[in-house]
Amino acid sequence: RVAKVTGGAASKLSKIRVVRKSIARVLTVIHQTQKENLRKYYRSKRLKPTDLRKKKTRAMRRALTPFEKSIKSRKQQRKERLYPMRKFAVKQ
């Protein structure tokens, strides 16, 4: 890391910026590779850490899954079985 310089040579001040940027570049690459490795590790797992999951929107994350939407209670299943949809024939 770089210590703060109070009033130094102009060359030194400009060098600090270059050093900070290069540090940032290195850290960016390190973090990217770490995240990539974590993605690879959790690909086959059942659950993933929150930061590796799909972003989506808050509402979409809380929405029911297609399977949860299709679930029906015993009573509802019975009603549908006893009273199927009526079919009407249209005369011409």
Q: What's the token pair of residue 38? A: 């974590």
The predicted model scores a pTM of 0.55
Average pLDDT for consecutive 10-residue bins of the chain (92 residues)?
62 83 97 97 95 94 96 98 95 88
DSSP state of 53: S
Q: What's the token pair of residue 71? A: 């679930």
DSSP state of 21: H
Q: State residue 4's pLDDT score.
A: 64
Cα–Cα dist 63/66, whole Å: 9
Q: What's the token pair of residue 42? A: 């959790």
